[in-house]
Amino acid sequence: MSIKKQYFKTKDVCKVTFRIPKEVGKDFKKASLVGDFNNWNHTAHKMKKLKKDGSFSIVVELDKGKEYQFRYLLDGEHWTNEADADKHVTTPFGDSENSVLSL
Output the tens digit of pLDDT for each of the chain's 103 residues.
799 999 998 999 999 999 999 999 989 999 999 999 999 999 999 999 988 889 999 999 999 999 999 999 999 999 999 999 999 999 888 888 999 999 9
In three-state secondary structure terms, 24 is: helix
- Let me know: does 55 contact 19? Beta carbons within 8 Å: yes
In the chain the domains, ranked by start, together with CATH numbers, are 2-102 (2.60.40.10)
DSSP 8-state secondary structure symbol assigned to residue 101: E
Q: What is the pTM of this model?
A: 0.92
Contacts 24+ apart (CB under 8 A), 44-53: 47/18, 47/20, 47/72, 49/25, 50/22, 53/22, 53/26
Please tell me the predicted confidence (pLDDT) of residue 57: 97
